[in-house]
Amino acid sequence: MSHSLRPPFSEKDHYQGDLHAPLELLEYGDYQCPYCGQAYPIIKKVQSKLGKDLRFVFRNFPLTDAHPQAYTAALAAEAAGRQDAYWKMHDLLYEKQEGMSGQRFFSELATTLGLDIAKFEADLQDPAIAKKVDDDFESGVRSGVNGTPGFFINGLRYDDDWDEKSLIARLQKTLARS
């Protein structure tokens, strides 16, 4: 059974690339998930290879039972986004994933990024940020995501291998059909 993305991409989502790109790769990810950590550099290579043809979208899907820091990590990315540093925090969370522990870890990353720490820490407590993470998670559940990373290509769930070669091949095939 093929699952489609609910709700579809909107400009409220965090995305990189051209808003009107013919290809969309959307990931439901967990910042503490080791598989998402492995997917991170693969996605960077896919983005580099497909360039302007690809819009990459990230939605939060923290699996808190398995990854106790994942929810706070998602909040940290969203809080950084309020200071125009969403993608910088996103990248840093994956690049420093092994060291993820405790509230201080996230404040140290914010300091590394030169964020206003008082604002960052206040935003971490903002219910609107928690609602964004919860809404992302709920959309993943409605879209049939049952693990991370969960990928969708042009709104349809992608369940095959997500190594660089497989992902690029599927995206190029999708592009040729569009």
Above 70 in pLDDT, residue 168? yes
User: Band of the pLDDT at 102, cuts 50, 70, 90?
Assistant: confident
**Residue that has been written with the tokens 């042009």 in this structure:** 154
Cα–Cα separations (whole angstroms), residue 110 to 29, 45, 123, 128, 158: 20, 25, 12, 19, 33
Structural domains of the chain ordered from first start: 15-21+29-177 (3.40.30.10)
The reported pLDDT for the residue numbered 2 is 62
What does the mean pLDDT of the chain come to?
96
**pTM of the shown model:** 0.97
Mean pLDDT value of segment 32-45: 98
Cα–Cα separations (whole angstroms), residue 23 to 48, 86, 87, 135, 173: 13, 22, 20, 24, 10
The reported pLDDT for the residue numbered 133 is 98
Above 60 in pLDDT, residue 1? no
pLDDT in tens, 120-167: 999 999 999 999 999 999 999 999 999 999 999 999 999 999 999 999
The reported pLDDT for the residue numbered 3 is 87
Mean pLDDT value of segment 28-52: 98
Locate 57 and state its tokens.
């979208």
Interior CA angle at 98 toward 38 and 31, to 5°? 60
The reported pLDDT for the residue numbered 103 is 85
Above 90 in pLDDT, residue 29? yes
